[in-house]
Structure formats: C-alpha cells, structure tokens
Amino acid sequence: MRLSLLISGLIPALVALFAAPALAEMKIEAATSPGGVPFWLVEDHSQPFTALSINFLGGTSLDAPGKRGAVTLMTGLLEEGSGKMDSQGFAEAREALAARMSFDPSADAVTVSARFLTENRNAAIDLLHQALVDPTFDAPSIKRVKGQIAAIQKNNASDPGQIASEQLDKLLFGAHPYGTSDLGTPDSLKALTRADLVAAHDAALTRDRVRIAASGDINAVQLGLLIDKLVEGLPAKGGKNPPDIAPDASGKTVVVPFDTPQSSVVFAQKGLRIDDPDYFAAAVLQQIIGGQGFSAILLDEVREKRGLTYGIGAGLDLMSHSTQWRGGFASANDRVAEAVKVVRDIWAKVADKGVTSEQVEKAKTYMTGSYPLQFNGNVTIAAILGGMQVLGLPPDYVGTRNDKVKAVTLTDVNRVAKSLMTPDKLTFVVVGQPKDLASTP
C-alpha cells in the first residue's frame, strides 16, 4: 500500500477522534425574529464578535429575460454607495467599525457575509441595512463596475478552462439561466440600465427569499431584533424562480479549438439531489471516484498510473433547480484523447463491476473525519449554516450527517453506481488542440 493511501486513510480517523466531540456539542438554535424572519444561531461568547451569513434565494437565476448579468452587476454595486455615502464613504464607515462585509452573487443565491465586533454591532447592522435597502446605483459607479465585469468577461474568453466550463453549461442547460454566464454577455452587460438594476434588486433582495445564519457573541433575542432592523424596507416578495431542469447529458464530445499546449477538459452527467434517499450512497461513490485524496480512482488511474494529468476530480454539484456530477482536468494535447478514454472506461467499469468494501470504508472514514474540521470558527460556521439553508437542509443535519454516511453499505454504493453512472451519457468538452480527438455528432 502506498504511503499516500495510509495517510488518507489514517489521518481522517485521528481527526474524527479528536474533532467529533466539539461538533457534537455545537448547538444550532432555530428561531424567528419578532417580525417573522426565521434564522439559525450558534452562540459563542468566547470572542466579542459575530459572523452573519445572509442568503437571498434565487441569485442570478432571477435575471429577467434579456437582462442577463443584471443581478451580478446589482450585487457588485451594493458596496459602491448607499444613502448619502459614495463608495469611499461606505468603505471608510465600514473600516471605522472594524467590520467586514462582502456581497457575492451565484446561480442560486445572493450571499451577504458580515462580521462585526459586539460593541459595534448595532452600527454595523445599520450600515449593512443601508447598503441592502438604499443602494445609490449612481452612473459613475455603474460605469466602473461594468468595466470590472467586462474585464472578467475578457479574461474568461481567453481562459481554456473557463471556456470549457461555459460551453458545458450551455450543452447541459441550454437557455435556462444555468446554461449561461452569471456575468451576462458583453452586449447584455453594456445594455443594462439603472432601471434594470433597480428591478433586479427588487426581484432578488426580498424578505420572502432571505435566509439568515449567525455564529458568535449574540443571543437569539438580540439577533432577532437586529434581523428585523436589517430587512426593514426590503420588498416583501421577489421574482419568479426558473423551472427545474434535467441536464441534457447526451454523451457527446465537443472539441473547441484553442491555441494552447494542453487541453482543458470538463465532463458531466446527471447527479442526485441532496434530498434523494440514495444521495449519501452517491456521495460515498463520488468520493471513491473523484474525491480528495490519492485513493480516488480517477486520480490513481489518470495521474498516478499513466501520468496524463497533474490533477483530476469529479463531484456531485448541488443545485436548486437541477443536478449534475461534474469533473475536470487538463492534459497535454497529444495525450488528452487517452485521458478521456480512461475516464469513460472507469465510468463503465465501476457501473458494471462496482467498488470494493475497502474503498467504501476508506471513503466513509475520510468523509466523516474531515467534516468536523470544516467548523473551525464563527465565520465558517455561519457560512456552512447559510449554505445548508440554501439547500433546504434542516438544522439537525450537522448532527446527523456523519451517521448517514456511516450507514451507507457496499451494497448501497454498488447499486447506486449501476443506476447512476451512465458512461454513454458522460458528456465532455475539450478546449485545446487535442490529437486524435474530434467532436461527435
């Protein structure tokens, strides 16, 4: 057995031994503010600060037709001026409070992260409330942030990995918001007006969409009052969600010519939702196939045995309106065809033959051992709880997750492998100049 396998198998077990009690003692309180806003809280009075994770469900998927990129641009402007403050004034006010605030759009949520000292929390919430409720959206800021997004678009257009990812999204999801970039196109970005940003704000940042998680030096009564202050003035209801969509993983290989010495590859097939009864068996399976650690089959077969790539992985992508099992790697142009074939062969072999009990136990040990390590402070705890809320998980998931992983059996994993892994539906996008590899019809 290689040393890497010993490390990946042994260290998580030791981690679990020492870290699990702390996780078991963490209490997640689910409460509701006086104004009716539900929230989760982990009290921790060891340090005088609080971390918040505020998620507005829907995210960039709420872009209006023909206005792709509006939610991203709107989110980028939230700290560029609000009330009577310009961007510099907002930054100075935030720094004076020793507070941290960030605003991040994604396909399924607009995430607002904040942390502030106990002595400054009322003033910090006032400042954050102003940013959320009364953004200026002034012309100079719109022009500046549009320029920043345009620069990202330009960089993405010359990045093989990004080109591959966007092309795969288009193949899988077509005209659905998941099939196009959160940034929009250069043309759609250029056309966005201030009125479009106001409409995007009123569709995405609404009280019915808000989910709040906190960890730190605050109790539920105090937090509830702050939350009501925070959401006061936001629209009551938001825009319409896009429909659920099954990924159109047809088994195609699409080659996008690009002048580069190595090809970037992404691949995908359908996945499973986290509320599916077979999800945890699938999660163990994906850890065995393409998860972290040198015992993962993809890494062992494609990198270790054949030297076809420096790194490769694949995992279940949890989404609000779809599912996918997605992976990626890069390989030299003259070897990428072999790498693609190896991945397809692995998919076919595991679907047919299954995996071993040793592989299942190592995957479960890693997953249960590494999970407690994620809860390493108020900021990450709030972020994890916020992510759970976006996925619709209950607060007791933290306490039950490892038990669900441990309950997975070899029979479960191999049954799911046979039904879920579909090598004929595994869809590849290759960006580069691959030798002996062409697009399929």
Q: Do 255 and 180 belong together in one domain?
A: no
Confidence label for 141 from pLDDT (cuts 50, 70 and 90) = very high
Confidence label for 244 from pLDDT (cuts 50, 70 and 90) = very high
Confidence label for 126 from pLDDT (cuts 50, 70 and 90) = very high
Confidence label for 292 from pLDDT (cuts 50, 70 and 90) = confident
Q: Do 317 and 220 belong together in one domain?
A: no
14, part of any domain: yes
Q: Do 320 and 417 belong together in one domain?
A: yes
| Tally of domains within the chain | 2
Instruction: Give yes or no for residue 18 having a pLDDT over 70.
Output: no
Q: Do 264 and 167 belong together in one domain?
A: no
Q: Do 384 and 312 belong together in one domain?
A: yes
Q: Do 190 and 292 belong together in one domain?
A: no
Phi first, then psi, for residue 114 (nearest 5°) are -145, 150
Confidence label for 22 from pLDDT (cuts 50, 70 and 90) = low
What pTM, to 2 d.p., does this model score? 0.92
Which of 198, 231, 264 is the last residue in one of the domains?
A: 231
Strands 29-32 and 38-43: antiparallel
Which of 203, 231, 259 is the last residue in one of the domains?
A: 231
CATH number at residue 349: 3.30.830.10
pLDDT tens string 55-107: 999 999 999 999 999 999 999 999 999 999 999 999 999 999 999 999 999 99
Range of the domain at 190: 33-231
Q: Do 305 and 222 belong together in one domain?
A: no
Q: Do 324 and 387 belong together in one domain?
A: yes
Confidence label for 24 from pLDDT (cuts 50, 70 and 90) = low
Write down the pLDDT at residue 23.
Answer: 62
437, part of any domain: no
Give CA torsion, residues 24, 25, 26, 32, to 10 deg.
Answer: 110
49, part of any domain: yes
Instruction: Give yes or no for residue 17 having a pLDDT over 60.
Output: no
Q: Do 210 and 103 belong together in one domain?
A: yes
Instruction: Give yes or no for residue 19 having a pLDDT over 50.
Output: no
Which of 176, 198, 231 is the last residue in one of the domains?
A: 231
User: What is the rounded distance in angstroms from the CA atom of residue 398 to the CA atom of residue 403?
Assistant: 10
Instruction: Give yes or no for residue 20 having a pLDDT over 90.
Output: no
Q: Do 227 and 257 belong together in one domain?
A: no
Q: Do 199 and 298 belong together in one domain?
A: no
Strands 323-332 and 262-269: antiparallel
Segment 263-276 mean pLDDT:
97
352, part of any domain: yes
238, part of any domain: no
Write down the pLDDT at residue 26.
Answer: 85
Instruction: Give yes or no for residue 440 having a pLDDT over 70.
Output: yes
403, part of any domain: yes
Task: Name residues whose C-beta falls within 8 Å of residue 349's C-beta, 6 or more positions apart in sequence.
Answer: none
Identify which of 418, 241, 245 has the alpha carbon closest to the alpha carbon of residue 324. Answer: 245
In whole numbers, what is the pLDDT of the chain averaged over residues?
Answer: 93
Write down the pLDDT at residue 441.
Answer: 87
pLDDT tens string 185-227: 999 999 999 999 999 999 999 999 999 999 999 999 999 999 9
372, part of any domain: yes
Q: Do 195 and 145 belong together in one domain?
A: yes
Segment 300-320 mean pLDDT:
96
pLDDT tens string 333-388: 999 999 999 999 999 999 999 999 999 999 999 999 999 999 999 999 999 999 99
227, part of any domain: yes
Q: What is the CA radius of gyration of the chain?
A: 23
Instruction: Give yes or no for residue 143 having a pLDDT over 50.
Output: yes
CA angle 340, 341, 344 (to 5 degrees): 90
Write down the pLDDT at residue 3.
Answer: 28
